[in-house]
Chains A and B, each alone.
Chain A
Amino acid sequence: DARVTQTPRDKVTEMGQEVTMRCQPILGHNTVFWYRQTMMQGLELLAYFRNRAPLDDSGMPKDRFSAEMPDATLATLKIQPSEPRDSAVYFCASGRWGDTEAFFGQGTRLTVV
Protein backbone atom coordinates (compact mmCIF):
# COMPACT_ATOMS: atom_id res chain seq x y z
CA ASP A 1 0.00 0.00 0.00
CA ALA A 2 1.92 3.04 -1.26
CA ARG A 3 1.85 6.02 1.04
CA VAL A 4 3.71 9.21 1.87
CA THR A 5 5.63 8.81 5.10
CA GLN A 6 6.44 11.75 7.34
CA THR A 7 8.67 11.79 10.39
CA PRO A 8 8.42 12.69 13.16
CA ARG A 9 4.65 12.62 13.74
CA ASP A 10 4.95 14.98 16.69
CA LYS A 11 7.72 17.36 17.70
CA VAL A 12 7.93 19.65 20.70
CA THR A 13 10.92 21.94 20.77
CA GLU A 14 12.12 25.08 22.45
CA MET A 15 12.26 28.40 20.70
CA GLY A 16 15.57 28.87 18.90
CA GLN A 17 16.18 25.19 18.27
CA GLU A 18 16.59 23.68 14.82
CA VAL A 19 13.79 21.45 13.56
CA THR A 20 14.05 19.03 10.66
CA MET A 21 11.01 17.31 9.20
CA ARG A 22 11.37 14.46 6.75
CA CYS A 23 9.16 13.08 4.03
CA GLN A 24 9.40 9.95 1.91
CA PRO A 25 7.27 10.44 -1.21
CA ILE A 26 5.56 7.59 -2.99
CA LEU A 27 7.93 5.73 -5.29
CA GLY A 28 7.57 7.00 -8.84
CA HIS A 29 6.11 10.37 -7.90
CA ASN A 30 8.17 13.25 -9.20
CA THR A 31 6.37 16.17 -7.53
CA VAL A 32 6.61 16.95 -3.82
CA PHE A 33 4.70 19.65 -1.95
CA TRP A 34 5.18 21.04 1.55
CA TYR A 35 2.15 22.62 3.24
CA ARG A 36 1.58 24.17 6.65
CA GLN A 37 -1.84 24.00 8.31
CA THR A 38 -3.07 26.27 11.09
CA MET A 39 -6.54 27.18 12.27
CA MET A 40 -6.04 30.81 11.31
CA GLN A 41 -4.41 30.46 7.88
CA GLY A 42 -5.65 27.08 6.75
CA LEU A 43 -3.40 25.15 4.36
CA GLU A 44 -0.54 27.25 3.08
CA LEU A 45 1.75 26.09 0.30
CA LEU A 46 5.34 26.50 1.45
CA ALA A 47 7.31 24.96 -1.40
CA TYR A 48 7.17 22.35 -4.13
CA PHE A 49 9.62 20.34 -6.17
CA ARG A 50 9.57 18.66 -9.54
CA ASN A 51 12.17 16.00 -10.24
CA ARG A 52 13.95 17.15 -7.06
CA ALA A 53 14.34 20.71 -8.32
CA PRO A 54 12.63 23.48 -6.33
CA LEU A 55 9.99 25.16 -8.49
CA ASP A 56 8.52 27.61 -6.05
CA ASP A 57 9.33 28.34 -2.43
CA SER A 58 7.82 31.81 -2.29
CA GLY A 59 5.46 30.68 0.49
CA MET A 60 8.34 30.05 2.85
CA PRO A 61 9.94 32.55 5.23
CA LYS A 62 13.36 32.49 3.60
CA ASP A 63 15.35 33.65 6.58
CA ARG A 64 14.55 30.61 8.69
CA PHE A 65 13.01 27.93 6.47
CA SER A 66 14.73 25.74 3.92
CA ALA A 67 13.48 22.82 1.84
CA GLU A 68 15.57 20.29 -0.03
CA MET A 69 15.39 16.96 -1.81
CA PRO A 70 18.73 15.22 -1.30
CA ASP A 71 17.45 12.32 -3.39
CA ALA A 72 14.22 11.09 -4.95
CA THR A 73 13.20 9.23 -1.78
CA LEU A 74 13.68 12.03 0.72
CA ALA A 75 12.42 15.57 1.10
CA THR A 76 13.33 17.70 4.10
CA LEU A 77 11.95 20.89 5.61
CA LYS A 78 14.18 22.65 8.08
CA ILE A 79 13.45 25.54 10.42
CA GLN A 80 16.37 27.32 12.06
CA PRO A 81 15.83 28.99 14.45
CA SER A 82 12.30 27.93 15.34
CA GLU A 83 9.78 30.37 16.80
CA PRO A 84 6.45 29.85 18.60
CA ARG A 85 4.58 31.16 15.54
CA ASP A 86 5.93 28.18 13.58
CA SER A 87 3.69 25.88 15.62
CA ALA A 88 1.46 24.11 13.11
CA VAL A 89 0.92 20.81 11.32
CA TYR A 90 3.28 20.41 8.38
CA PHE A 91 2.17 18.19 5.54
CA CYS A 92 4.13 16.67 2.73
CA ALA A 93 2.33 15.49 -0.39
CA SER A 94 3.54 13.82 -3.55
CA GLY A 95 2.17 13.23 -7.01
CA ARG A 96 3.02 12.80 -10.66
CA TRP A 97 3.77 15.94 -12.62
CA GLY A 98 0.72 17.34 -14.32
CA ASP A 99 -2.83 17.82 -13.23
CA THR A 100 -3.37 14.75 -11.09
CA GLU A 101 -4.13 14.21 -7.44
CA ALA A 102 -1.76 14.74 -4.55
CA PHE A 103 -1.20 12.08 -1.91
CA PHE A 104 -0.72 13.43 1.58
CA GLY A 105 1.29 12.14 4.50
CA GLN A 106 -0.12 12.12 8.02
CA GLY A 107 1.67 15.33 8.92
CA THR A 108 4.16 16.46 11.54
CA ARG A 109 2.60 18.37 14.43
CA LEU A 110 5.18 20.93 15.52
CA THR A 111 4.92 22.78 18.81
CA VAL A 112 7.50 25.45 19.59
CA VAL A 113 7.48 26.59 23.21
Chain B
Amino acid sequence: SQQGEEDPQALSIQEGENATMNCSYKTSINNLQWYRQNSGRGLVHLILIRSNEREKHSGRLRVTLDTSKKSSSLLITASRAADTASYFCATAGHNQAGTALIFGKGTTLSVSS
Protein backbone atom coordinates (compact mmCIF):
# COMPACT_ATOMS: atom_id res chain seq x y z
CA SER B 1 0.00 0.00 0.00
CA GLN B 2 1.18 3.54 -0.76
CA GLN B 3 2.01 5.87 2.11
CA GLY B 4 3.37 8.89 0.31
CA GLU B 5 1.95 10.70 -2.67
CA GLU B 6 4.24 12.95 -4.71
CA ASP B 7 3.07 16.03 -6.52
CA PRO B 8 3.37 16.84 -9.35
CA GLN B 9 3.57 13.52 -11.18
CA ALA B 10 5.74 15.12 -13.85
CA LEU B 11 7.76 18.32 -14.00
CA SER B 12 9.61 19.86 -16.94
CA ILE B 13 12.00 22.77 -16.45
CA GLN B 14 14.99 24.47 -18.03
CA GLU B 15 18.53 24.16 -16.78
CA GLY B 16 19.26 26.67 -14.07
CA GLU B 17 15.70 26.78 -12.79
CA ASN B 18 14.65 25.42 -9.41
CA ALA B 19 12.53 22.27 -9.12
CA THR B 20 10.12 21.72 -6.25
CA MET B 21 8.46 18.40 -5.54
CA ASN B 22 5.98 17.73 -2.78
CA CYS B 23 5.10 14.63 -0.81
CA SER B 24 2.11 13.99 1.41
CA TYR B 25 1.75 11.00 3.69
CA LYS B 26 -0.96 9.52 5.86
CA THR B 27 0.31 8.12 9.14
CA SER B 28 2.83 9.21 11.77
CA ILE B 29 6.45 8.72 10.81
CA ASN B 30 9.88 8.34 12.33
CA ASN B 31 11.63 9.89 9.37
CA LEU B 32 11.08 10.75 5.72
CA GLN B 33 13.60 10.08 2.96
CA TRP B 34 13.98 11.17 -0.63
CA TYR B 35 15.39 8.90 -3.33
CA ARG B 36 16.31 9.36 -6.94
CA GLN B 37 15.97 6.82 -9.75
CA ASN B 38 17.58 7.15 -13.14
CA SER B 39 15.90 5.27 -15.97
CA GLY B 40 16.55 1.54 -15.75
CA ARG B 41 18.49 1.80 -12.51
CA GLY B 42 17.94 1.22 -8.82
CA LEU B 43 17.02 3.93 -6.36
CA VAL B 44 19.67 6.07 -4.73
CA HIS B 45 19.24 7.72 -1.35
CA LEU B 46 19.43 11.52 -1.40
CA ILE B 47 18.53 12.83 2.02
CA LEU B 48 16.80 11.86 5.27
CA ILE B 49 14.87 14.17 7.57
CA ARG B 50 13.73 13.07 11.00
CA SER B 51 10.30 13.78 12.43
CA ASN B 52 11.72 16.34 14.88
CA GLU B 53 13.49 18.29 12.12
CA ARG B 54 11.87 20.97 9.98
CA GLU B 55 14.50 21.62 7.30
CA LYS B 56 17.63 20.01 5.99
CA HIS B 57 20.16 20.89 3.31
CA SER B 58 22.57 18.83 1.26
CA GLY B 59 24.38 20.57 -1.57
CA ARG B 60 21.73 21.82 -4.01
CA LEU B 61 19.00 19.92 -2.16
CA ARG B 62 16.71 21.42 0.45
CA VAL B 63 14.10 19.33 2.21
CA THR B 64 11.35 20.57 4.50
CA LEU B 65 9.04 18.58 6.71
CA ASP B 66 5.74 19.68 8.22
CA THR B 67 4.47 16.91 10.46
CA SER B 68 1.29 18.84 11.31
CA LYS B 69 0.33 18.79 7.63
CA LYS B 70 1.96 15.42 6.99
CA SER B 71 3.87 16.84 4.07
CA SER B 72 7.42 17.32 2.82
CA SER B 73 9.01 19.16 -0.08
CA LEU B 74 12.22 18.62 -2.00
CA LEU B 75 13.80 21.63 -3.68
CA ILE B 76 16.58 21.21 -6.21
CA THR B 77 18.23 24.54 -6.91
CA ALA B 78 20.01 25.50 -10.12
CA SER B 79 18.95 22.31 -11.85
CA ARG B 80 21.12 20.54 -14.40
CA ALA B 81 20.30 18.18 -17.26
CA ALA B 82 21.87 15.42 -15.14
CA ASP B 83 19.13 15.92 -12.54
CA THR B 84 16.66 14.35 -14.98
CA ALA B 85 15.27 11.35 -13.10
CA SER B 86 12.34 10.18 -11.00
CA TYR B 87 12.23 11.30 -7.40
CA PHE B 88 10.49 9.38 -4.64
CA CYS B 89 9.68 10.12 -1.05
CA ALA B 90 9.70 7.25 1.40
CA THR B 91 8.41 7.18 4.93
CA ALA B 92 9.74 5.09 7.77
CA GLY B 93 7.25 4.51 10.51
CA HIS B 94 6.97 2.17 13.39
CA ASN B 95 4.72 -0.80 13.32
CA GLN B 96 4.45 -3.79 15.55
CA ALA B 97 7.17 -5.60 13.68
CA GLY B 98 9.58 -2.76 13.12
CA THR B 99 10.49 -0.15 10.56
CA ALA B 100 9.60 -0.45 6.90
CA LEU B 101 10.22 2.04 4.07
CA ILE B 102 7.07 2.82 2.12
CA PHE B 103 7.43 4.71 -1.17
CA GLY B 104 5.19 7.05 -3.10
CA LYS B 105 4.71 6.83 -6.88
CA GLY B 106 7.28 9.49 -7.62
CA THR B 107 7.75 12.69 -9.59
CA THR B 108 9.39 12.48 -12.99
CA LEU B 109 11.66 15.47 -13.48
CA SER B 110 12.90 16.47 -16.90
CA VAL B 111 15.55 19.17 -17.15
CA SER B 112 16.29 20.45 -20.62
CA SER B 113 19.42 22.33 -21.62
Contacts and interface: CB of A to CB of B under 8 A. Distances in A.
A25 interface: no
Contacts, number: 61
B31 interface: yes
Interface string B25-61: 0000011010100000111110010100000000000
Nearest to B30: A99
Interface residues of B, number: 27
Interface stretch (B65-73, B77-85, B96-104): B96-104
A101 interface: yes
A42 B104 contact: yes
Nearest to A101: B45
B45 A45 contact: no
B105 interface: yes
Contact of B98 (A45, A91, A97, A106): A97
B18 interface: no
Q: Which of the four size classes fits the interface of chain A? A: 20 to 34
Nearest to A59: B1
B9 to A, nearest CB: 11
Given A56-B100, A107-B42, A99 B106 contact: no
Given A50-B98, A98-B99, A101-B33, A42 B2 contact: yes
B50 A99 contact: yes
B19 interface: no
Interface of B: 1-2, 30-31, 33, 35, 41-45, 48, 50, 88, 90, 92, 95, 97-106
28 contacts: A4-B42, A33-B101, A42-B104, A43-B88, A43-B103, A43-B106, A45-B103, A48-B100, A55-B98, A56-B97, A56-B98, A56-B100, A59-B1, A91-B43, A93-B101, A99-B30, A99-B99, A101-B48, A102-B33, A102-B45, A102-B90, A102-B101, A103-B45, A104-B35, A104-B42, A104-B43, A106-B42, A107-B41
Interface of A: 4, 33, 35, 42-43, 45, 48, 50, 55-56, 59, 91, 93, 97-107
